[in-house]
Amino acid sequence: MKARQPLHDHLCLASLLVLLGAVASPLGAQTPAADRLEELPTTAEARQRLYEEVDREVAALQRQGTLLKRVIRLVTPTVVHIEAEKSSSPDVRFSRRSVEEAGSGVVIRHGNGDYVLTNRHVINDSLLGQIKIKLADGRIINPKQVWTDRGTDVAIMEINAENLVAARLGDSDNLEIGDFVLAVGSPFGLSHSVTYGIISAKGRRDLKLGDGSVKYQNFLQTDAAINPGNSGGPLLNLRGEVIGINTAIASSSGGSEGIGFSIPIKMVMTIASQLIEQGNVVRAYLGVRLDSRFDAQRAAAVGLPRPTGALVSAVTPSSPAANADLRQGDVVMSVNNVPVEDDGHLVNLVSLTAVGETVNLLVFRKGTTLAVKVRVGKREDFEPE
């Protein structure tokens, strides 16, 4: 999926070889070859010595590089290529035409079943028989059942085949900006392509994606090359664990420009587990209306030095927020010790909380901070999706 506006703030990994070279040279010591770079080797003996020094340095570099090769061998059997045929009919007066979406996915095991994680937009509007999953060993299968969630662009497909290899899931909460990552997928139909980069940013929201239906956003940003066809494929850490599902790019050309977005795996599995176990996603509800125009002037009016957190403009009667005595004018500063950046962030944090869970809020009210416990409810009980 392509974001409508290019976004910036990404880091480049052009220094990978320099980094590995530094690792290969203990304590950052300058190599013998580097000591004599200015000496042009003209004699056979000098050139032979230089070749031997280069061979030693390359051998050390290759020993570091085997880590990536081992990780790739681990994860390749878990990644699948997906082709989904869809029927498109812009006008019912004309004949329907068939279009095809290509993407990627990753095999996981949940309970006693095998499933493929991918993006909703890869398989949306396709019947089971129109979705072809190509496994790493070349077998092509159809899913037994498909569930999707419009609000997060997550999809999960139940599959049945012998000798499936499931991926190991990592902890996306522990990621830091600068962590090395791998993206595996099928850009432009080239299955099992691998790209390498870092986490460039976390918590990206308010991206304008597709038809605007992806309301709940908390994207990881990476400079690992992600192109059309990578959608639904895994983002992995250097332990070979899935820490995200690649979903979108910000691009003016339609190709990778070093700004890709992945859904954190914790968020993906929160949605996927509900889809598998109950067939739909039940979103938690707090019961507050928030001021999207919370700026420096409004922050000063309530006694804050800058606009941080989410300003409550109204409280729904009989809602969890009302029962916990949240009030108009309160500023929700954190949820379970996670600082709230703005109103959209609070909506995301609550929506991805389990219904019935008690959350700890830090609330700023009239110059003081209060600890408030709220048992979140079920959104459908108070307002339609």
121 is catalytic: yes
Catalytic residue (one of 153, 223, 330, 343): 153
Q: What residues contact residue 103 under an 8 Å CB cut-off, 6+ apart? A: 81, 82, 84, 118, 119, 122, 123, 185, 186, 229, 230, 231, 232, 233
Residues 183 and 222: their CA atoms lie apart, in Å, by 9
192 is catalytic: no
Catalytic residue (one of 10, 121, 186, 200): 121
8 is catalytic: no
Catalytic residue (one of 191, 231, 251, 334): 231
Residues 282 and 267: their CA atoms lie apart, in Å, by 14
Instruction: Supply the residues annotated as catalytic.
Output: 121, 153, 231
